[in-house]
Amino acid sequence: MSTGTAGTADPSGQPTEAAGRRREQRGWYFYDFACSVYSTSVVTVFLGPYLTSIAKAAADPDGYVHPLGIPVRAGSLFAYTVSVSIIVAVLVMPVVGAAADRTGRKKPLLAAAAYTGATATACMFFLEGHRYLLGVFLLIVANASISVSMALYNAYLPQIATPEERDAVSSRGWAFGYTSGALVLVLNLALYTGHDSFGLSESDAVRICIASAGVWWGAFALVPLRRLRDRRVAPGGDGAVGSGWRQLMATLRDMRRHPLTLAFLLAYLVYNDGIQTVISQASLYGSEELGLDQTTLITAVLLVQVLAVAGALGMGRLARLYGAKHTILGSLAVWTLILAAAYVLPAGAPVFFYTLAAAIGLVMGGSQALSRSLFSHLVPRGKEAEYFSAYEMSDRGLSWLGPLVFGIGYQLTGSYRDAILSLVLFFALGAVLLARVPVRAAVAAAGNPVPERI
């Protein structure tokens, strides 16, 4: 996908800087295209209900499993595992971010994280019977890997796009991701609904759908790994990996010098926790609380993917008119209404569930894409990977609280409706915190040029 006019060359025949930048942008989009299938098919659609069914099969007569001797209600296992995976990512990301910034070699680290996650996802094919612990382990590895890889991927954005381009480039990246998610969900739907004609059991079809996401992730990750290029950095400093935690502390101290950047991160941490929890727990809510079948859940998420493409691009256009901050605030108001509607949604009513899915699709991509591009303006030059590691902790790495609250809510009440109601607080508080951030002053304080509209 082009981001502007066709590439040109200077009189010597060498590509212009703008043409080279567009080539990298096109490659960069394809990492969203590669890994979004994991988020959509695995986390959002199949793995929550499937892992829960395996845990229930292994549970004691009271409905509890006992990983490491800890009694856990089978219906809460998936939410707790998501929380643990995110904590693991928190421990790894500072080291990787420091290594990337100190060496300037983000691409090998991106490749390592991508293929670790893709391999773990492909190995979920072997998840069956009572092997819920295998599912827990592979989910932790895959979720932590995608978090690390996204921190590195996002850190390229300030390097491959000018300030005026970033809203559009970030939105196109999300649109690529939602496009791939929709395409693979169509294939998943065909395999799942026709599993008998393929000679497969329902469980076999689910395991193939999950594992194929890992294969897709690994295959299309080759495109950005060929197109993106690393930048040289000034030599000096300690060894990158050994100094990762010292670098994290230095990054946090440095962020104290940019309190407005830190204020945005806090707001994003809160409202994105709600977004990530809705994404990861939606299918579980639909199957367990609303009694919807897997075909309904797949088609609903497919609807989300299709509309999210339009939503991401449409909100990118709104940002050009009203600024990213005001557009994000509008999306948070819609998220709050969505959760209120989900709480009163009647069981066994797919039409209402589809309506809710459509609303989610229209705001999900845009709210995330614009948050990413807005943060890119608040990062001091030369600190991209470190700051985007902190951002990724907010995006995925510190989004453990929502799933934990959701899991505890179900553990205590046995009702997913009570659990989902608590998520309204994340969007309401996040909106209040974001509204208090003077973003133009924050961009200037970070030493970056202030766009005409932000």
Is residue 411 predicted with pLDDT exceeding 80? Answer: no
Q: Which pLDDT score is estimated for 86? A: 82
Q: At what angle do helices 259-284 and 47-58 cross, to 10 degrees?
A: 60
Question: What three-state secondary structure class fits 73?
Answer: strand
Is residue 5 predicted with pLDDT exceeding 50? Answer: no
Q: At what angle do helices 132-155 and 47-58 cross, to 10 degrees?
A: 150
Task: Compute the half-sphere exposure of residue 395: CA atoms within 13 Å on the CB side of its CA.
Answer: 26
Instruction: Report d(CA 107, CA 224) in Å as an integer.
Output: 9
How would residue 319 be classed by pLDDT, with cut points 50, 70 and 90? confident
Q: Which of 96-105, 132-141, 176-185, 424-433 has the lowest mean pLDDT?
A: 96-105
Quote the mean pLDDT of the chain.
84
Q: Which pLDDT score is estimated for 233? A: 65
Q: Which of 432, 434, 322 is nearest to 378 (CA)?
A: 434
Task: Compute the half-sphere exposure of residue 224: CA atoms within 13 Å on the CB side of its CA.
Answer: 31
> What would the pLDDT profile of 149-169 be if each residue is shown by its tens digit?
988 898 888 888 887 787 788
Is residue 235 predicted with pLDDT exceeding 60? Answer: no
Instruction: Report d(CA 273, CA 377) in Å as an integer.
Output: 22
* Cβ atoms within 10 Å, residue 197: 8
Angle formed at CA 275 by CA 118 and CA 189, multiple of 5 degrees? 50
Is residue 7 predicted with pLDDT exceeding 60? Answer: no
> What would the pLDDT profile of 108-141 be if each residue is shown by its tens digit?
999 999 999 999 999 999 999 899 999 999 999 9
Kindly tell me the burial class for residue 230, based on how many C-beta atoms sit within 10 Å of its own C-beta (0-12, 13-18, 19 or more).
middle
Tokens of 82: 């998501």
Please name the helix (run of DSSP H) or strand (run of DSSP E) that holds residue 64, with its range, or none: strand 64-65
Instruction: Report d(CA 61, CA 260) in Å as an integer.
Output: 52
How would residue 30 be classed by pLDDT, with cut points 50, 70 and 90? very high
Percent of the chain with pLDDT over 90: 31
Write the CB contacts of 329 (distance below 8 Å, at least 6 apart in sequence). Answer: 431, 434, 435
Is residue 238 predicted with pLDDT exceeding 50? Answer: no
- Pick left, alpha or beta for residue 342 (phi over 0 → left; psi -120 to 50 → alpha; otherwise beta): alpha
Is residue 279 predicted with pLDDT exceeding 80? Answer: no
> What would the pLDDT profile of 33-50 be if each residue is shown by its tens digit?
999 999 889 988 899 889
